[in-house]
Structure 1
């Protein structure tokens, strides 16, 4: 069951994982910035992928590739899945956006 403390813990873990993957990029290719409730990934072209909390509904929102997708945590699979049932998963979606921006996917450390 989701509550505020669990939501914050899950978001912190997700942001940490995304930032760790972004840190493997040359900063001239992809720069990552974390500011509280938001992670911004900026490519050399100036294009961005923004990952932001949506506290009121306990979701994570990702803007990239001209889309805004809301992800809810699914306890059964322990994954952040899109709230429209399109089969999108948070980390895979962010990796695809980064591939679109840089030509290289975001690869998450084990």
Structure 2
């Protein structure tokens, strides 16, 4: 239950940060527990919770990341590369939509 609440909170933060972005540049949509951001070039960032392993999985183009919730409450990649879920979303939005959103850590 706590895992689902943490996922919902993360997705709500991302969705709220995307609200002020022109939907022609980037638009987020939640459906069946998954959050999808479609960028102006039609590339999609798909964020999906994986309850059995307590992770959020992110897929974009030919890349994929798996994020664990750290003891400090940050969603960090499970490969130890220091990639934060919110930083990834911010970076992709800046690169593919040309806009800056702020999510914090």
Q: Distance in 2 between matches of 1:30 and 1:11?
A: 21
> Does 1:33 pair with 2:29?
yes
Aligned counterparts, 1:60-79, within 5 A: 60-64=56-60, 66-75=62-71, 77-79=72-74
Q: CA RMSD in A?
A: 1.4
> Structure 1 residues 105 and 64, CA, compared in 2 at 3 Å: closer, same or farther?
farther
Structure 1 segments (4+ residues) deviating >3 Å: none
Structure 2: gaps spanning 5 or more residues: none
Structure 1: gaps spanning 5 or more residues: none
Kindly state the Cα deviation for residue 36 of structure 1 after the two structures are TM-superposed: 2.3
> Does 1:23 pair with 2:19?
yes
> Structure 1 residues 99 and 65, CA, compared in 2 at 3 Å: closer, same or farther?
farther
